[in-house]
Structure 1
Amino acid sequence: MKDSCVDKNKRIVKNTILLYVRMGIMIIISLFTARVILNALGVEDYGIYNVIGGLVSMFSIISGSLSAATSRFITVGLGKGNPIELRKTFSATVSIHILLALILVILLETIGVWFLNNHMNIPIERMSASNWVFQCSIGTFVLSILCIPYNASIIAHEKMSVFAFMAIFDAIFKLFITIILYYYGGDKLILLAVLWLFPALITLLIYWSYCKRKFEECHYIWDFEKVRYEKIFSFAGWNFIGASSAILRDQGVNILLNIFCGPVVNAARGVTTQINSVVTQFANNFTMALNPQIMKSFAKGDLDYTFKLVFQGARFSCYLLLLISIPALITTKDFLILWLNLVPEHTVIFVRLVLIYTIIEAMSFTMVTLMLATGKIRNYQLIVGGCQMLNFPVAYLALRLGMHPFVTYLISIVIALMCLVMRLIMLHKMVKLPVVIFLKSVTMNILGVGVLSFIFSYLVYTNMTPGLIRFVCCVIFSLLVTGIIIYYIGCTPSERKFMLIQVRNRLKHENKQVN
């Protein structure tokens, strides 16, 4: 068992490194493309593009619930080691997603088109371009739905090198699109929407080809077993509540901001979403490498190892977020001016609040994976999902009363804290998750590391003369001091020992290659 755990840990480390190589490249490309797109489109068109994409994403309520079900059933099936059942499960998920894509196209071409043209706050002279964006967004959305079963198979097999390669390919492709957009003399909003279809199509074709060649279960067979489809739909049905709450919190509130405040605020939220996507992915790369192990170990009944992964995943996800969030919180305005040049109103406060929200949510990433692994999600989705749904009506009430747009993020933070408590209580009742140990080893550690890192970094920032030198020095100092505090205060002795061993092994490997 000991050797087995060591092998699992090595696989997690290897996969995490691959994902962070991908992440580094993607951060550079995404920051550059966001700047170029914002300056090429202008604040108003950028806001229009963001909110229309959000309108289409509203319909991912259905696909989001099925995506979680697909990932869960394929990963657990792989852990149980029955190839025939796994192939039937994969084929069932493909059939379901094809049907889902057809249903969503019908809904978007009817309800979606009606809402866009009758209720969205868009200047009349940009309605034609907005409809182009909407149609192209539908195409991109449908292609992403068809990718879900293949993407889930790659992650379940822990082939993170493929996942990393495809993400880098997608980012580079979009970089070329951005360069074309910059030099184009026509309607740039329409061109961006049309060109965005191509990376989605190529990604689907590559995923399909790779999975078919590498994984035996990814050869489609028609096998309609009513019980199998009922299990998937039952899981997805309850997960629909959680997917709905997430979509209403993100895209639903985005549409509310459009209706009450206009596309300029959507531009600020679009920039904030871009930053939040990069920051969240920074933590998700780590948990993505852990998630298959959590599900497989739970399927085998190894609860001790499962809890260990859940706790470590929660801590290190937040540590990774703190590494980039602390300097971002302190130097938000400086960073946005250097990055974008053209900074939409409200962006600074939006970014700071969303970083706090994301750190709170990161504590729950691995807990959600454990909850999905149990398969018993009805009560969880009713309680936690129902609580998350409060984001939309409370935000509507706040905006209706004339409150500032940043209040919508404060509402999200309060509700995220409530949901964290609910998850702990429910997992304790379901699988005896030790709540006290979680609070001591996860919550208190994260709080201690975060507060100390912020205080030291803020003192450096406030005692330097404003300018580029202060920004660079603060970022470097913050990264160093946060890393040191994480290593000496946030990590256990065994974790520090494991890190040193990995570094030594990596250095030995590099020396052998040089010699």
Structure 2
Amino acid sequence: MEKTSETNKRIAKNTFLLYVRMLFTMAVSLYTSRVVLNTLGIEDYGLYNVVGGFVSMFTFLNGAMASATQRFLNFELGCGNKERLHKVFCTSINIHALISVIILLLSETIGLWFVYTHLNIPPDRFLAALWVYHASVLATIVMVMSIPYNAVIIAHERMGAFAYISVLEVVLKLLIVYLLVISDIDKLKLYAILMLLIQLLIRFIYGNYSGRHFVETRYRWIWDKDLFKEMTGFAGWSLFGNIAAVAFTQGLNVLLNMFFGPALNAARGIAVQVQNAIKGFCINFQTALNPQITKSYASGDMPYMHNLVFTSSKFSYFLLLFISLPVMFETDLILQWWLKVVPAHTVVFVRLILVISMIDSLANPLIQAASATGKIRKYQSVVGTMLIMILPISYIALKCGSTPESVFIIQLIVFCVALFARVWMLRTLVNLSLSEYFRKALLPMFLVTVFSLVIPMVIRVCMLQSLSRFVTVCVVSFISVVVSVYIFGLVDKERAFFVDRLKTLRNKFRR
């Protein structure tokens, strides 16, 4: 009990640190996105998103290996095997170096051919687009080599360092905005080069911090054939899921470009910016919990692991609902204030992508639980097949004359089906009860959502668009979600915990 209490306190502290990081980075990111859009223009902003995003399609190998690295580091820390932990880190460095070479070769051959022959790029901006492409390739390679160091920091639950380095990164991006405004050279080229330089600096900082605090990150050449096969085997099955993820994210971006041009990429780019800012509310919470899910499995504490999965799923959804609800009600007004020029389709894109994010927030705890076992072949095969179908279905829909919004609707439907497939397979992997997941996670989410919507929706319909309606809808939405979560979303122990925390805070302020 005492160990669990200490673990919960550490999770709470790490979550708080990550939220401080998120609030700062979100505020800066929203401002920089607006200035970058206005400085580059809609066309160049769209080009940066589609060309830079296209490069990330070649990171499907890295995504799979990053999951494997995080899982094996978490697992060995849970087991307490320091020698094995060092072997895992050094092996992951070797594998990520190999992945970097593969990404470079693919990007500068097949990728470059695709840019020349298939992307819809205005002729007068083609040279600038190539600058973006090559800079993005190098930045991606730097990011790949940073993965093992980031994973070690997260595995040790040193979220303070993770938060401080991330804050430095967004401050540097804010500096980029200033340089873009005052510079006379091609702003798209300059933006791509400066983003690359930031990646290089952050990579150095992560490596330096890890080397000073964690002995296992002191690299030396290690060749453990069995460990290599174990890690790459795990990554191999994760690869299919990551290919699917890349396909329905960057693949949809390419489809929108092919059918509608760069302007739609700008609209989607803005929607993704909003999504990334808001998803931080659940990602930071999940980042604090994820290591404990794997560590609890490694130590054999299955009831605690199940509870973490339920808690992470439920509260991730509540956190997203809390911030997304007012944004979805007042999307048009928020975008008008934020951006001087709002690209067509952006309002609907933002609303749809936020709904998708709320459903997607439930997937991460389930993925972590499956990954903890190391037996992910069936899980990744089934879910990956479902997700990868988003791209061909979307292509057929657009080819038949569907609107750009249809690709998001298709993605939402597939996500819902995949969610139930995930839970179904966890019955055998970690003995997770389907009825218990429905009762402890899905049912509270449904009730909270329904009762949170009613009053804000009535206010929005009855009032004309104005600042007063915006303030009223936001305040009422926040209150509706909080009250609904307290009544329908929490069990007695959770209510008692939050009441106790509030009393503690009140007593501190009274002093």
TM class, shorter-chain normalised?
A: over 0.9
Partner of 2:118: 119
Partner of 1:451: 450
Partner of 1:94: 93
User: Is the counterpart of residue 149 in structure 1 residue 148 in structure 2?
Assistant: yes
Q: Which amino acid aligns with 1:75?
A: N
1:467-486 equivalent positions in 2, closer than 5 A: 467-486=466-485
Measure how far apart 1:225 and its partner are: 1.1
In structure 2, the CA distance between the partners of 1:485 and 1:47, relative to structure 1 (3 Å rule), is same
Partner of 1:499: 498
Partner of 1:408: 407
User: Is the counterpart of residue 359 in structure 1 residue 361 in structure 2?
Assistant: no
Contact 2:383/2:421 (<8 A) preserved: yes
User: Is the counterpart of residue 207 in structure 1 residue 206 in structure 2?
Assistant: yes
Q: Which amino acid aligns with 2:399?
A: R
Measure how far apart 1:184 and its partner are: 2.1
- Distance in 2 between residues matched to 1:492 and 1:181, nearest whole Å: 51
Contact 1:88/1:221 (<8 A) preserved: no
Contact 2:369/2:430 (<8 A) preserved: no
Measure how far apart 1:455 and its partner are: 1.4
Measure how far apart 1:462 and its partner are: 2.1
Measure how far apart 1:472 and its partner are: 2.0
Q: Which amino acid aligns with 1:193?
A: A
Q: Which amino acid aligns with 1:493?
A: D
- Distance in 2 between residues matched to 1:484 and 1:21, nearest whole Å: 24
- Distance in 1 between residues matched to 2:373 and 2:429, nearest whole Å: 9
Identity %: 39
Measure how far apart 1:509 and its partner are: 5.7
Q: Which amino acid aligns with 1:371?
A: A
1:13-36 deviations in whole A, cap 9, x for unaligned?
A: 111111101111111101001111
Q: Which amino acid aligns with 2:337?
A: L
1:23-34 equivalent positions in 2, closer than 5 A: 23-34=22-33
Contact 1:318/1:359 (<8 A) preserved: yes
Measure how far apart 1:341 and its partner are: 2.1
- Distance in 1 between residues matched to 2:7 and 2:506, nearest whole Å: 21
Q: Which amino acid aligns with 1:413?
A: L
Partner of 1:21: 20
- Distance in 1 between residues matched to 2:107 and 2:140, nearest whole Å: 11
Measure how far apart 1:507 and its partner are: 5.1
- Distance in 2 between residues matched to 1:392 and 1:466, nearest whole Å: 37
Measure how far apart 1:506 and its partner are: 4.5
Q: Which amino acid aligns with 2:365?
A: T
Measure how far apart 1:451 and its partner are: 1.6
Partner of 2:58: 59
Q: Which amino acid aligns with 1:24?
A: L
- Distance in 2 between residues matched to 1:450 and 1:301, nearest whole Å: 35
User: Is the counterpart of residue 139 in structure 1 residue 138 in structure 2?
Assistant: yes
1:121-171 deviations in whole A, cap 9, x for unaligned?
A: 011111000000001111111111010000000000000111111111111
Partner of 1:231: 230
Q: Which runs of 5+ in 2 are unaligned?
A: none
Q: Which amino acid aligns with 2:287?
A: M
- Distance in 1 between residues matched to 2:503 and 2:58, nearest whole Å: 49
Measure how far apart 1:501 and its partner are: 2.6
Partner of 1:278: 277
- Distance in 1 between residues matched to 2:108 and 2:391, nearest whole Å: 24
- Distance in 2 between residues matched to 1:73 and 1:507, nearest whole Å: 42
Partner of 1:158: 157
Partner of 2:291: 292
- Give the TM-score normalised by the residue count of structure 2: 0.98
Contact 2:266/2:343 (<8 A) preserved: yes
Q: Which amino acid aligns with 2:493?
A: S
- Distance in 2 between residues matched to 1:340 and 1:325, nearest whole Å: 19
- Distance in 2 between residues matched to 1:112 and 1:257, nearest whole Å: 18
Measure how far apart 1:510 and its partner are: 6.4
Q: Which amino acid aligns with 1:490?
A: G
Q: Which amino acid aligns with 2:146?
A: C
Measure how far apart 1:469 and its partner are: 2.0
- Distance in 1 between residues matched to 2:451 and 2:251, nearest whole Å: 36
1:289-368 equivalent positions in 2, closer than 5 A: 289-368=288-367
- Distance in 1 between residues matched to 2:117 and 2:166, nearest whole Å: 36
Give the 3-state SS of the residue equivalent to 2:197 in structure 1: helix
Measure how far apart 1:358 and its partner are: 0.9
Measure how far apart 1:333 and its partner are: 0.7
Aligned-residue Cα RMSD (Å) equals 1.2
- Distance in 2 between residues matched to 1:502 and 1:200, nearest whole Å: 39
- Distance in 2 between residues matched to 1:317 and 1:173, nearest whole Å: 29
- Distance in 2 between residues matched to 1:430 and 1:283, nearest whole Å: 25
1:387-434 deviations in whole A, cap 9, x for unaligned?
A: 100011111111111210110000100100111010111001222101
In structure 2, the CA distance between the partners of 1:83 and 1:509, relative to structure 1 (3 Å rule), is farther
Q: Which amino acid aligns with 1:53?
A: G
- Distance in 2 between residues matched to 1:242 and 1:451, nearest whole Å: 32
Partner of 1:85: 84
Q: Which amino acid aligns with 1:61?
A: F
Partner of 1:185: 184
Partner of 1:435: 434
Partner of 1:8: 7
- Distance in 1 between residues matched to 2:80 and 2:505, nearest whole Å: 33
Stretch of structure 1 that moved more, 298-307 or 450-459:
450-459
Measure how far apart 1:198 and its partner are: 1.8
Give the 3-state SS of the residue equivalent to 1:158 in structure 2: coil
